Structure 1
Amino acid sequence: MHEITNKSLKINYMPDNLIEEILQNGRTILTTFAGTVPLMREFAQDWALIDRKSTEVTNILLNKLIPLFKRYEPRIRINSLRVELKDGEETNGNFYIILEVEVIV
């Protein structure tokens, strides 16, 4: 079981192994917003999530992330998702996404 999050994205251009590369691909999906990747406008997160309260986001994220991972990184299986507030504040767009995932190689 591994954890991936959008708290920070440290890109390693030379991953040590296949699992590290797969997890990095998952972090890229979490930190990229739709419309920012040329010729793949549907890739990654929906900008509309920024305007929602974090308590509303969990179900929306699961509905969006499962198909995204199946399409763009099928070697990752999402086991659980949680939303963590930044600085403990209940404000719009102020949250982190934390996924517990299984890597299938």
Structure 2
Amino acid sequence: MTRQYTLTYNPSVINFRPESVLEEIFQNINTILGTYKFSVPLFRGFGLEAEFVDKPMSILHPLFVREVVETVEKYEPRVIVEEVKMTAEIDGIAYPIIIFSLKNGVNV
């Protein structure tokens, strides 16, 4: 059985010196989730579409899931995204929860 890992997006968690491959993968996914396309000079395609901002959850969720799976697996090729969930906070902010496994051959 493949081990699954869970990451809840947190924009305030940044570690520029990860101590393990797994910690590096978590950092990379967190960075992908916090970056909008066209916001990185010379790497305009990196990140998620900004079209999800201010959309109702019923519209946002299916579009966002597809975008997250495709983007995370493209820019962090060591993972397989198994599931994407959304937290619905009272203040209207939704944070993604990514459940992923590592591809064969990735040693943590």
**Structure 2 length normalisation: TM-score?**
0.82
Could you say which residue in structure 2 is the equivalent of 1:13? 16
Identity %: 26
Supply the distance in 2 between the matched residues of 1:26 and 1:95 (Cα, whole angstroms): 17
Superposition deviation, residue 51 in structure 1? 2.4
Give secondary structure in 1 for the equivalent of 2:53.
helix
Q: 1:58 aligns with which of 49, 57, 61?
A: 61
What is the identity, as a one-letter code, of the residue corresponding to 2:53?
A: I
Match of 1:101 in 2: 100
Shift of 1:43: 1.3
**Paired positions, count:** 101
CA RMSD of aligned residues (A): 1.6
Structure 1 stretches lacking a partner, 5+ long: none
Structure 2 residue 42 is the aligned partner of structure 1 residue 39:
yes
Q: Would you identify which runs of 4 or more consecutive aligned residues in structure 1 move more than 3 Å?
A: none
Question: For residues 38-97 of structure 1, what are the alpha-carbon distances to aligned partners after superposition, in whole Å with 9 as ceiling and x for unaligned?
Answer: 12222112111012112222211122122212321111111111111122x5x5xx2111
- Paired position in structure 1 for 2:29: 26
Q: Which protein has the bigger helix share?
A: 1
